[in-house]
Amino acid sequence: MSNDFKLPEDCTDMREVRIGVDTTDRELMELLDRRFGYMRAAARIKEDRNVVRDEARKAEVIDNARADAEGRELPSEKIAEIWGLLVETSIAYELGEWDRIRA
């Protein structure tokens, strides 16, 4: 992290805000990398390709994100949309990994 990194409540100018946003984006990417690692693990563990897509689990993950966002007073419906795209992208990635592992 940059030495100039400050939490939002400590920022006093736009330079600090931008550094904070950029630092947070890198941290988010690290978390996404880990999340997609779990998709690779799922592809390795699941023996049946037909169980990769789990609509009940998808709904649960999106609902959890929506509720978490509401609790944080964030735009919960938009975050639910983002999570919907994240889950669909994760499913597609897992299917690709499932096929690659067994090619």
Binding-site annotation: residue ranges for substrate: 18, 35, 46, 94
Distances (CA, A) of 8 to 14, 23, 29, 41, 98: 11, 12, 19, 35, 41
Residue 31 near residue 88 (C-beta atoms within 8 A) = no
Pick the closest to residue 89 from 30, 51, 24, 39 (CA basis).
39
- Which residues carry a binding-site annotation? 18, 35, 46, 94
